[in-house]
Structure 1
Amino acid sequence: MKKIKLILIITFYLSGLISINAQELAPTDTIANVVNLKGFQVALRGGFDIPTFDNNTPYIDYKGGLMAGASIDYYFKWYGLGVDFDYIQNKPSSSYRTGNLYYNGNNVTNFNLTEDKITRNFIGIGPSFQYQPTKKYSVELKLRAGISSIDGGKTSLEGSYVNSSNVPSTEIFNYHNGYSQTNIFSAKGSLQFNYFVTEKLGLSLGGYYLKHFDSEESKNTLLNYTTSYKPITPVLGTNNEYTNQTSNTQLRENPCNCDVSSIGIFVGLVYKFTSDPNKPKKEKTKKEKEKEIYSLTVTARDKFTKDILPETEIVLKNNDGEILKTGKTNNFGVVVFEEIEPDSYVIEGSLYGINLENEDAKKREFKKGKTLQKELSYTDKNFILKGKTVRCNTTSSLADVSVILRSLDATIQKNSITNENGEYTFNLNEKTSFTIYGKKDSYFSQTETINTENFDRMTTLFVKLEICMEQVDCGKAIKLNDIQYDTDKYAVKKEGKVELNRLVQFLNDNPEIKVELSSHTDSRGQNTYNQTLSQNRANSVVDYIVSQGIKRSRLTANGYGESQLLNECADGVDCTEEQHQVNRRTEMKVICPDNK
């Protein structure tokens, strides 16, 4: 115990000495000017271990043995944190006297001794301290707490003799069942001196003290005891020579929870994973530089339908609200911000004037050489109308068209101008009906009706619609669709008024033009009857348009009967109903300025 106390006193004295010197040096960075202490350090060691087993077992001592271990430490400066791994092997040693041994008056002549080795494994974690005044030398103090396992150490001494009946017999004179225990709380302190042969590689020499608390002995369950022995009494014989007389066997049934400790010395190697801060940095390769690039990928997606959202405006801001980068998602709903600093950001998005839910990017989420993935959600419950204006009967788009969207109750009206691709967008409220048409000089627009009750927002975000625009040249006839009349009647039916409203809108948008409204019949029936009927129908169309606020002076009504057939279905020609239908029509024609 005196040796142990001395080692502990020296260890804690050196610990205080190292701490004081390190603290004195740290403010002036004296150590840092000599050598870089920060970083990982790995040490391998091997040595000799001298154990003490406080199990109070007579006649059994313990020999020293080999040890091997490793340490991994990370030093923040002169202080750090480390882990120790140790493997220790010892062996028991029987001190039982075997010379001139007598049992019950019988001379024991032959002995059989078995001594199993003891292995100990230790893993511990704790603080580390180092003092390195030069690049060549350093001293380290390491304090560890952890768990151990002890296994083995069984000792058995058997002796043979011939009794008074001349019968050979065998008896156990000394026995200890050894150890078989895991998860033993243990503590270790070590002092290590290092000599560096290079900047990073060094040789080490040191010593340690290791203690295992409450190490329980193993019990022989068959014999029901841990230790047995026969006490020896030296007896002086008639010839003045001592003989060793044994008495009855002594047993210890209950295992002893006794401490086990050891001291040891070791040599080894140490390697520092640190670099000289004053050494010029090596130029990085292209691949190394690419690994240090930080990237951020943002995907825009609808919350309900999960559709990706192209053309979404994305803004990257810092925590102070300053805009750092902007971008627009591609056809896959993705925008990538390259070569950005790892920091905390706020990501905002907007699609056709509607904001998406913001998302945060934390500094800790950025990894070198990897792209951080973020997703913004579009949560607005309105629909998005994505339309296009085209020239009628073609696929040619029409740019710079003023598109008017108006609710049927006239409480909502929105305007938009088509882009170079003829595209326009509107946000459509739920459960609302709209009319939509285009306005452009010299073009007559189709009018469409949209009812959003026909769509489910959970499955649909985008409503697509194409508006047909027909170019109007003076003197060119344009057919008005769906102008229906009852047979032999000329009053405009309700369905036809929808189409005539399209013409009313065109006339309101172009107040300077005048138009001719013409009505045509097929060849069936008398010519004079068809002429009169068509004139009355043309007059009826004009009357309706005037009732909608258009001056009559801008309108001319002409009935052409069957005089301007569009196909060969004249009198006497056998034609189908569909062929005759082509000739029954109402047309609009802009009157050229030179004409009256």
Structure 2
Amino acid sequence: MKRFLLALMLLSITILAIAQQKEKGDLQIGIQGGASLPISTYKSIGETKIGYYSGFFVDKYFSGNKFGLGVDARYIYNSINLQDTFHFENGYISTDYINKSRFQDYLFTFGPSYKYAVDRFHVETYIRGGLMMQYFPEYIRSVTYEERDPTGGSLIHTQDIMSTVNDASNRANSWAGIGGLRFNYMLNKHFALFGHVDYVQAFGEKFGSKSSRFAIERVEETNPIGETTNVKTVWDHYGDVRETKQTPHKTIQAGIGVKYIFGSKKSPAVKEDNRPKYDDEVKKIALKDLQIVVKDKQTNLALSGVTVSIEGTDIHDRSVTDASGQASKVSSIKPGQYQIVGEKNGIKTPILTLTETDFQTSSAVIFKEIYHDDPRFTLIGETFDCATAQNLAGINTVLTHTGSKVNASQTSDAEGKFIYQLDAQSDFTVIANQQGRYSQTEIVSTKGLDRSQTLYVTLKLGVCELVENGEWVLKNIHYDFDRSDIRPDAAIILDNVVAVMKQNPTLRIELSSHTDSRGNDNYNLKLSQRRADSAVDYLVANGIARNRLVARGYGETKLLNNCRNGVNCSEQQHQENRRTEIKVLEY
């Protein structure tokens, strides 16, 4: 097949060269390279990453230099996302890569071109069709877990959950096509630099008698396996029907290159002295400074932390806005056309285009505002030391959406700050997740907030050291009246305790429950013991050894204020006594 492609390519070039002798249009040859971006099923099923490509092309334009024919030959390489081994309570999920973990393709295409030229700038559009030789990765993903039997022994089970199911050679051929644009700048009448972007796709399910698509066989995950999951059987977590998924090659390719135009004919885009038309007149407009300010569209507040990019005549500037929303001032820029865009949290502002008209003012500074439109709220948090109240750097924090249970993590910076984006009308919890330390589970909510009035939500997250005999009250843990069941909102708080216990395996604690003075003293003592027992049972059910936990109900015996029996107190004073505490017994 490689010899066939080579012969076809040489034949096409020969035909174009012969046509050059008979037609007055340009013959050009170029080399190119750049990024290969997988999309759609090629990215999801193939698990492909951004790769690269290289190649060359030949175009023959006919009389008038607008329409022509061209050939394109490319080598395309996309590696795949290598999956690390994931360990759970009694086993692991691993991937065995049998051959090279990449997609490798050789592409040869032929088809029409169209060119539009203004001065030194040419825009070409093209569409090609031809053959693609494909080389696929081969791998198997499996779940391995240990099963304990009643005698105290164990059995190791391994079950495949995904595998590639291609031809034994992991090769395939297919029809393929390219369509794209090439943007050229003529250095002189023979050489040009260009950038281009195009779309590449393979077509058809078979080529001859063989499949032409990459294929995997897998079972769908029905119950995700987490780090604390104890797998009893794979089929508790995966379906029992194996399905086959296929995908053709689909990539967006963007790159740069250089080309050479044959012939002695002067390019219509270049004058005798090889200067563009717009250089014929000396510009009399003075150089100016450029100041960009970014604001939040919904609140009109100045927005910091926005990356502002300015691209134009001899300028490729990038800076980050400060607290007043200002990007770095760009000094003494030439009149011309510039494109300006800001980006923060993966969302870009609309592109602002400056033209020479913007330079025709008496002001020495061109001042422009651009607006960033992110419908989310911004949480600005600080981690601080419980003992010293000083901000702490390098603390890992975890934000959890209480509805979807989706987690995000971030480490506080040198000033102890961390930033998250919050969806509207949602509740979240924030904790510190650091060995040797603990924090309360803080609750943050955007419910009831108006995004047009509010941009920032703030939080100070206390982080305390674990020390023997240390005590703290668990915030935001509640029980229903006269009940000891663990409510869903209380479970979220106890999950933080589980994480602290797992990060610190030598930690042993007392978990105690307290009531206010209202009601029968003996009943309060029993109710608090049941609540403490329920909390400990929850921790044990989530993987914490019972011998590391002590449940203690104190009823109303350890009041924090003077609200004893017979004393008239407010509800807020009684609430102070209704609490759940943790005491470090050993560490």
What TM-score do you get using the length of structure 2 for normalisation?
A: 0.44
Bigger Rg, structure 1 or 2: 1
What's the TM-score, normalizing by structure 1?
0.43
